[in-house]
């Protein structure tokens, strides 16, 4: 957020046409939504930056538009099992908005038509709505046997992941296009890689993580702790795009103009420096998925082994092994 | 809900003018809010009844209004510490609405101006926004020394409670009048008593509960477990109104027409038949308040003693000791 704060502020100042956000003239209430907010810690800062920039915009145009700043409503979205209790209890007391929780998949419609003025999503769109069906289907060319991710896998597997991603982003863009008012803005922070990888080697960090976890699971299958079929039917439902791919999906949707697109280094790669911290972070990411698929009893064992692997060979912890970037896109809902 | 279901259905059929809910003609999205929904168990049934009745209304008028049923949005409101996680995870899968959580006090504005079409609140408006200041102020005529409720207390204490109630209901009605569209409906289920009690004797169940708990606390103060000052500064923040009082507050507000007002027996009084169940219910109601005021360490002791008192003298468990009723009011936001 520190990196994109000046950009979001600049774009709101330049691109948000507050006189054209409502068909009836000026708006009383300004709606913002954060899609994939988790428990809110990063979201609260983003919502502060956005609401402050919009308030400044209203104040600077006060002589022209002759209206006070509107009331702000922020919809915090995440899936139904997200910890909204923690989110609500952590809301900053000094905030300038009424908060609402919006449970459900952001791949579907969540808000009324033409109600939303500013959409935001950070570090959430890499989550697929599901594991691509083909990769767990033994009759498919894209069956990802003995593997839990698309990195290092055959081209068919990579294509299945990339198709699912395109389908999901299309659903997201379509739902938001319905919800956004004409002229409404959408700021996306999407994790990805700078160029299209061929994914044929374990040369980036996310894939090394997956390779370690897959090999731990395979060892556990050899010991009879879990079945091989269970591993074959488990795949990790995220996908890291690259700028050209994301741009093509947005352009194909047709409802938005791309106002700005920038690439940033992923500051997360410098944040985790010990094997213990690394294992904790990935445990948090994997825990629900693994518990649902294999049962809770194997989770301790998997992440103890994972931490030991990292301690034995700590190359994974070097920031330069992590090639991930953040793609920042600012979109404007076209006027209809 | 079983009792008021036919009434709500009838009133929606007769009183909801779907052609006049929006200044621009017909509405795309129909907003409902439940104020004080708790974890939703009773709310889901109410929201089902309301949405179904409105859908039927739209379908029956289809030939006249030439429009499909709108999309439904239900805002579930309760205070910030409510368990929204349980609520979201219990949402009926077959529901016909998008759900949102709306954390915050219902004595304040929570939704945009003129956005709400149907407001609902059941068994929640007896909660005061705070203990009336005067009853814990040793310099006030209304100081409620050695007592934790207004029943059986001096007239000044009763007046302080009743004033706080009027102020809170006024705040609630004012906030909702802002949020409701002209012609929007509001259904309230408010606990109360059939007539104004003089509260001078422990002749109704709620007061007997409070008297038992007060005497347990006083015994604990004698043993030095808590201080007498702590008891004097603890009062229970609920108030049971009576129909004439509630009606007067609504009429004073002036924004609503009273379309219907009915009195029902409180079915809750027949539901709790054992000392154990009774102690559990009141523990759930009291626990947070007591923990915040006295600390968590006394709660077990208080409710163990409470259960023993009930077992020794079970008169409290007789339904006829409970004089409480439910006041059902259906209001319509006046056209402006």
CA distances from B253 to B21, B34, B182, B243, B249 (A): 21, 21, 15, 16, 6
Tens digits of pLDDT across chain A (336 residues): 778 899 999 999 999 888 777 666 667 899 999 999 999 989 999 999 999 999 999 888 877 776 778 999 999 999 999 999 999 999 999 999 999 999 999 999 999 999 999 999 999 999 999 999 999 999 999 999 988 998 888 899 999 999 999 999 999 999 999 999 999 999 999 999 888 866 555 457 777 888 889 999 999 999 999 999 999 999 999 999 999 999 999 999 999 999 999 999 887 777 777 888 888 888 988 899 999 999 999 999 999 999 998 888 877 778 877 888 999 999 999 987
Determine whether B26 is exposed, middle or buried from the number of CB atoms within 10 Å of its CB (0-12, 13-18, 19+): middle
> What is the C-alpha end-to-end distance of chain A, expressed in Å?
31
Q: Do A83 and B85 touch (CB under 8 A)?
A: yes
Determine whether A325 is exposed, middle or buried from the number of CB atoms within 10 Å of its CB (0-12, 13-18, 19+): buried
Q: Do B89 and A81 touch (CB under 8 A)?
A: yes
Is residue B93 less than 8 Å (CB to CB) from chain A?
A: no
Contacts of A268 (CB under 8 A, 6+ apart): A324
Residues A179, A119: contact at Cβ < 8 Å? yes
Is residue A25 less than 8 Å (CB to CB) from chain B?
A: no
Is residue B110 less than 8 Å (CB to CB) from chain A?
A: yes
At residue B89, φ and ψ (nearest 5 deg) are -75, -15
Q: Do B101 and A104 touch (CB under 8 A)?
A: no
Chain B residues within 8 A of A98 when measuring between CB atoms:
102, 104, 109-111
Residue A78 host element (H or E): strand A71-78
Chain A residues within 8 A of B113 when measuring between CB atoms:
28-29, 71
Tell me A330's DSSP state. E
Radius of gyration of chain A (CA): 21
Distance CA B171, CA B149 (A): 23
Three-state DSSP string of B267-336: HHHHCCCCHHHHHHHHHHHHHHHHHHHHCHHHHHHHHHHHHHHHHHCHHHHCHHHCCCEEEEEEEEECCC
Using CA coordinates, name the residue in chain A closest to B87. Answer: A80
Question: Coil, strand or helix: which one is B195?
Answer: coil
Residue of B103, B111, B288 to mutate for A, most A C-beta atoms under 10 A: B103
Query: Could you tell me the two tokens for B106?
Result: 């219902």
Determine whether B41 is exposed, middle or buried from the number of CB atoms within 10 Å of its CB (0-12, 13-18, 19+): exposed
Predicted local distance difference test score (pLDDT) of residue A210: 86
Question: Coil, strand or helix: which one is A298?
Answer: helix
Distance CA A291, CA A226 (A): 13
Distance CA B120, CA B49 (A): 12
Predicted local distance difference test score (pLDDT) of residue A24: 60
Is residue B68 less than 8 Å (CB to CB) from chain A?
A: no
Listed residue (A114, A241, A272, A189) closest to B27, CA to CA: A114
Write down how long chain B is.
336
Residue bearing tokens 């289920």: B189
Query: Could you tell me the two tokens for A85?
Result: 């209790």
Determine whether B174 is exposed, middle or buried from the number of CB atoms within 10 Å of its CB (0-12, 13-18, 19+): middle
Is residue A300 less than 8 Å (CB to CB) from chain B?
A: no
One DSSP character per residue, B102-152 reads EES-TTS--S-TT-EEEEEEES-TTB-SS--GGGG-TTSTT--TT-SSSTT
B88: nearest CB among A29, A98, A103: A103
Listed residue (B220, B79, B197, B78) closest to B148, CA to CA: B220
Tens digits of pLDDT across chain B (336 residues): 778 899 999 999 999 888 777 666 667 899 999 999 999 989 999 999 999 999 999 888 877 776 778 999 999 999 999 999 999 999 999 999 999 999 999 999 999 999 999 999 999 999 999 999 999 999 999 999 988 998 888 899 999 999 999 999 999 999 999 999 999 999 999 999 888 866 555 456 777 888 889 999 999 999 999 999 999 999 999 999 999 999 999 999 999 999 999 999 887 777 777 888 888 888 988 899 999 999 999 999 999 999 998 888 877 778 777 888 999 999 999 987
Query: Could you tell me the two tokens for A211?
Result: 């390779």
Is residue A89 less than 8 Å (CB to CB) from chain B?
A: yes
């Amino acid at each position: 957020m520190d990196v994109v704060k000046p950009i979001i502020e600049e774009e709101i100042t330049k691109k948000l046409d507050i006189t054209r956000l409502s068909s009836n003239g000026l708006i009383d209430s300004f709606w913002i939504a954060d899609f994939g907010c988790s428990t809110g810690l990063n979201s609260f800062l983003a919502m502060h930056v956005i609401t402050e920039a919009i308030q400044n915009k209203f104040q600077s145009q006060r002589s022209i538009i002759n209206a006070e700043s509107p009331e702000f409503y922020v919809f915090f979205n995440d899936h139904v099992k997200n910890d909204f209790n923690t989110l609500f209890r952590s809301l900053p007391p000094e905030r300038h908005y009424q908060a609402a929780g919006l449970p459900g998949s952001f791949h579907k419609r969540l808000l009324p038509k033409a109600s939303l003025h500013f959409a935001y999503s950070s570090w959430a769109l890499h989550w697929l709505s599901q594991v691509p069906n083909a990769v767990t289907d033994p009759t498919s060319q894209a069956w990802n046997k003995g593997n839990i991710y698309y990195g290092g896998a055959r081209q068919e597997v990579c294509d299945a992941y990339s198709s699912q991603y395109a389908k999901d982003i299309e659903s997201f863009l379509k739902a938001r296009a319905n919800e956004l008012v004409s002229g409404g803005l959408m700021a996306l922070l999407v994790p990805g890689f700078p160029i299209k990888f061929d994914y044929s080697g374990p040369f980036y960090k996310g894939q090394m993580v997956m390779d370690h976890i897959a090999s731990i699971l395979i060892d556990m299958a050899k010991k009879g702790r879990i079945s091989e079929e269970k591993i074959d039917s488990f795949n990790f439902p995220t996908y890291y795009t690259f700028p050209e791919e994301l741009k093509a999906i947005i352009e194909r949707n047709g409802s938005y103009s791309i106002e700005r697109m920038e690439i940033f280094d992923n500051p997360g790669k410098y944040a985790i420096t010990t094997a213990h911290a690394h294992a904790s972070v990935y445990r948090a990411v994997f825990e629900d998925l693994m518990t649902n698929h294999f049962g809770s009893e194997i989770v301790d064992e998997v992440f103890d082994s994972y931490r030991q692997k990292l301690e034995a060979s700590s190359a994974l912890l070097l920031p330069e092994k992590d090639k991930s970037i953040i793609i920042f896109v600012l979109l404007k809902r076209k006027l209809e």
